Amino acid sequence: MTTELTGLTAQELVDGYRKGEFGPVDATRAVLARIEETQPALNAFTRVDAEGALAAAEASAERWRRGEPQGLVDGVPVTVKDILLQRGVPTLRGSRTVRAEGRWDEDAPSVARLREHGAVFVGRTTTPEFGWKGVTDSPLTGVTRNPYDTSRTAGGSSGGSAAAVAVGAGPLSLGTDGGGSVRIPASFCGIFGLKPTYGRVPLYPASAFGTLSHVGPMTRDAADAALMMDVISGPDPRDWSGLGPVPGSFRDGLDEGVRGLRVAFSPSLGGQVAVRADVAAAVRKAVTRLAELGAYVEEVDPDFTDPVEAFHVLWFSGAARVVQQLSPAQRELLDPGLKEVCAQGARYSALDYLAAVDARMALGRRMGVFHSTYDLLVTPTVPLTAFEAGVEVPRGSGLRRWTGWTPFTYPFNLTQQPAATVPVGLDSTGLPIGLQLVAARHADPLVLRAAHALYASGAAGVSGP
């Protein structure tokens, strides 16, 4: 039973609670045992609260016994990236510069919504320092590893969350995505990850990286992500840039399929990206399945040049802002790579920043026009599979920063569009491959619907590690 429970989705757990087949305490104990089993090898958690989780599970079990569940995910084990505030525990953000002492008496909006719906918080997942890069290692917590091959990275910056979901250490996790930080590790670890439209999931405190940073679900499949979005997408007055209430449910229309949808398939963004052969083949095979399911698929590119320079100005400036108040002694404690990008970010002028904003707006306009013709854009999520753990870029690649190997993800943080990654196979060494689905701003349900169609058809999903 223990092994079986850690393999269930959140919806399957809730269905089991409702039928009385098992309870929240059973599920929580199974997840805690799975964490204890996998943590030494993966290092996916920075904190585990077994006592608190079991107490919350007992309270949930009593509500289910009364037939009065508190919400949509009552009793479901959930993990939270150690970037988001969670009441009662420190949010250290992967940094030795953050003091654990303090009141820590506030939840981030997404955490608050999960708490209101009865979720069982089992632990905090690892992040690189302040979530600054596309892999997960930090001076505070060390290296987080891939569950498919522990010599490889889990990706980042939500790498702990991706690894946790992949091994059954809770079916739902909250991640953040400022340049791919949900989608990159989800792709590397073979799970589903959604970066919603900016503002759809409220964020507080506001990110120093500004409106690049999104909060999103990391789950076993698209249906669980839709369920989680129903919980976390409500407005919160603390987020001045948040969107209004969602009409209906993200689960509405999830089974409608892709027949008639106009899908643009861009395998390499017009030849700008060198994609490994096994990644390209797996993505193309899944796109073929979309066509077999009734989508009108055309191989076409969105026709934009790599916006990496604009992204660097915005991202590195944000990093400089994060550490602006640190003393010289504290700065010596930072990840060396983070110190480099902060120094670069501090050199940009206000005019540099505004020029990057102009480039961002131009890209947003281009993608808005593109989606007046195409419902969805499909690309690989990452042009490669997981590489060596503990390094920012693959050895021998000649790349300098993590953005060099993530050209499919960060453009859509600039444009604030919804984008998801779906696992569509394994490479020749047994590492997961991800396909990215992108839609126009506010078309999150369409992304979820297409992803769910791939899962339902058997084209998505990989065997567990």
Domain boundaries, the chain: 2-244+253-457
Which residue in 60, 81, 161, 317 is the catalytic one?
A: 81
Average pLDDT of the residues in 375-391: 98
pLDDT at 326 over 80: yes
Confidence band of 247 (pLDDT split at 50, 70, 90)? confident
Q: Can 181 be counted among the known catalytic residues?
A: yes
Which segments of 154-219 are extended strands (E)? 172-177, 192-195, 214-219
Confidence band of 123 (pLDDT split at 50, 70, 90)? very high
Confidence band of 371 (pLDDT split at 50, 70, 90)? very high
pLDDT at 281 over 60: yes
Q: Can 266 be counted among the known catalytic residues?
A: no
Q: Given this model, what pLDDT does residue 404 score?
A: 98
Q: Given this model, what pLDDT does residue 463 score?
A: 86
Using one digit for the tens of pLDDT, what is the confidence trace for 426-465? 999 999 999 999 999 999 999 999 999 999 999 999 988 9
Confidence band of 102 (pLDDT split at 50, 70, 90)? confident
Using one digit for the tens of pLDDT, what is the confidence trace for 22-64? 999 999 999 999 999 999 999 999 999 999 999 999 999 999 9
CB 29 within 8 A of CB 6: no
Q: Which residue has the higher pLDDT, 247 or 121?
A: 121
pLDDT at 2 over 70: no
Q: Given this model, what pLDDT does residue 167 score?
A: 98
Q: Which residue has the higher pLDDT, 249 or 103?
A: 249
Q: Which of 193, 222, 199, 225 is nearest to 212 (CA)?
A: 199
Q: Given this model, what pLDDT does residue 3 score?
A: 58
pLDDT at 1 over 80: no
Of the chain, the percentage scoring pLDDT greater than 90 comes to 97
Mean model confidence pLDDT for the chain: 97
- C-alpha separations of 82 from 120, 156, 308 in Å: 16, 12, 27
- C-alpha separations of 85 from 88, 111, 355, 371 in Å: 9, 7, 33, 35
Which residue in 95, 157, 187, 266 is the catalytic one?
A: 157
CB 115 within 8 A of CB 179: no
pLDDT at 324 over 90: yes
Is 2-244+253-457 assigned to CATH 3.30.70.150? no
